[in-house]
Chains A and B, each alone.
Chain A
């Protein structure tokens, strides 16, 4: 998949995971592994960018004698998810037209 195209998709994927419940790094990767190819190194900048944009927030919680960092979606993050859904519908419509309709450019 194209890197730039994938970048937008990954944002939506991460926000979608967090919209269900708070999560942590390893779990996010585990949840997305079956949907899209994503590595630990790739996830870090996505989380950083979404946090900088105010779409998610972080906090730590005690877990097994250590502090684990958790991520939670914000209201802005939910709005962004809605925007991503609309973008996806629009894109799907375009892709359908250009790839499924053979007569479109005739």
Chain B
């Protein structure tokens, strides 16, 4: 056998026995090893055939090269290779069985996953629907709140102006008042409970409020009527009394007694008129006096 043939069959054997797991680099190393041995032996004068014959069969060489390095018998090497082949078949059978099992489990997992993802999709749809409804509700509520917030803007600005007037000139105090009022006002006007209570209270107390108001108006009207009546009486008594007094003085020249009587009646009437006037004007005078005191203080 020639060296090249030996090498070719050696490579074949290596590929078969190693189940083609040997790398090209490793195969090259092995060939280089034999080439070096060949060259070293050739230098000693041996022929190619002699050298190759010493190496034995390429298949045995392949077995030995792939072994752990024991110089086995050919038969033992065959037995080992057979045993390895058997073991490999068993392992590959086991591997196939495990692969089948894994494939089955993967199928079952796929089924389970489909079911779970279907359930997850359904839940996600439901959550999306609920979120949409929440969004709609929130929009409606915020619109309502904005509307209420707009109606109370005027009140808020009034309060702001009052705060400006009463302030001692400190801008930051006014600002704080404005901010607090605005915020408090906004908070209050957003409060549903507040409005419910307010309107309920208003509806309940309206009749009473109306009655009180009516009574107040009536009383005030009556008071005014009394004052006007007193004034009218006072004026008429003063004028009447003055006229009677003058008439009495003139009539005294005609009939002294009747004249004196007329003068007396006139004076009395005049006095009554002043009294009535005093009754009506005294309270007003007192009020005016009190106001003047306050302003002077």
Residues of A that sit less than 8 Å from B by CB: 3-4, 6-7, 10-11, 24-27, 37-46, 49, 64, 66, 68-69
Q: How far is the CA of A70 from the CA of B56 in the complex (A)?
A: 24
Q: A49–B70 Cα gap in the complex (Å)?
A: 12
Interface contact B30-A39, CB-CB below 8 Å: no
A46 touching B36 by the CB < 8 A rule?
no
Asked if residues B70 and A7 are in contact (CB atoms below 8 Å), the reply is: yes
> What B residues does A10 contact at CB under 8 A?
69-71
Quick check: A26 and B40 within 8 Å, CB to CB?
A: yes
User: How far does the Cβ of B88 sit from chain A's closest Cβ, in whole Å?
Assistant: 20
**Which of B36, B54, B67 contacts A69 (CB under 8 A)?**
B36
Of the residues B34, B39, B60, B70, contact of A6 by C-beta under 8 Å: B70
Given contacts A26-B36, A26-B40, A44 and B65 within 8 Å (CB-CB): yes
Shortest distance between the CB of A2 and any CB in chain B (Å): 9
User: Shortest Cβ distance from A77 into chain B, in angstroms?
Assistant: 16
Q: Give the interface centre of A3, A43, A49 by most chain B CB atoms within 10 Å.
A: A3
Say whether A24 contacts B39, CB under 8 Å: no
| Contact among B37, B43, B69 for A45, CB-based, below 8 A | B69
Asked whether, in the complex, the Cβ of A40 is within 8 Å of the Cβ of B34, the reply is: yes
Cβ contact within 8 Å between B68 and A49:
yes
- Tell me the B residues contacting A by CB distance below 8 Å: 30, 32-34, 36-37, 39-41, 43, 54-56, 60-61, 64-72, 76
- The 5 sampled A-B contact pairs (Cβ below 8 Å) are A24-B40, A37-B71, A42-B69, A42-B71, A44-B64
Secondary structure dominating the interface of B: helix
For residue A3, give the distance in angstroms from its CB to the closest CB of chain B: 4
Q: Are A3 and B40 in contact (CB under 8 A)?
A: no
In the bound complex, residues from chain A placing their C-beta under 8 Å from that of B54 are: 40
Q: Which residues of B contact A41 (CB under 8 A)?
A: 55-56, 60-61, 64-65
- CA of A37 to CA of B72 in the docked complex: distance in angstroms? 11
Q: What is the CB-to-nearest-CB distance from B61 to chain A, in angstroms, rounded to a whole number?
A: 4
Instruction: Report whether A40 and B70 are in contact in the complex, using a CB–CB cutoff of 8 Å.
Output: no
Quick check: B68 and A25 within 8 Å, CB to CB? no
Query: Contact: A44 with B71, CB < 8 Å?
Result: no
Q: Which of B36, B39, B43, B76 is close to A3, meaning CB atoms less than 8 Å apart?
A: B76
Given A26-B36, A39-B64, A41-B61: 18 more A-B contacts, CB < 8 Å: A4-B70, A10-B71, A11-B69, A25-B33, A26-B40, A27-B40, A39-B55, A39-B56, A40-B55, A40-B61, A41-B65, A42-B67, A42-B71, A44-B64, A44-B65, A45-B69, A49-B69, A68-B36
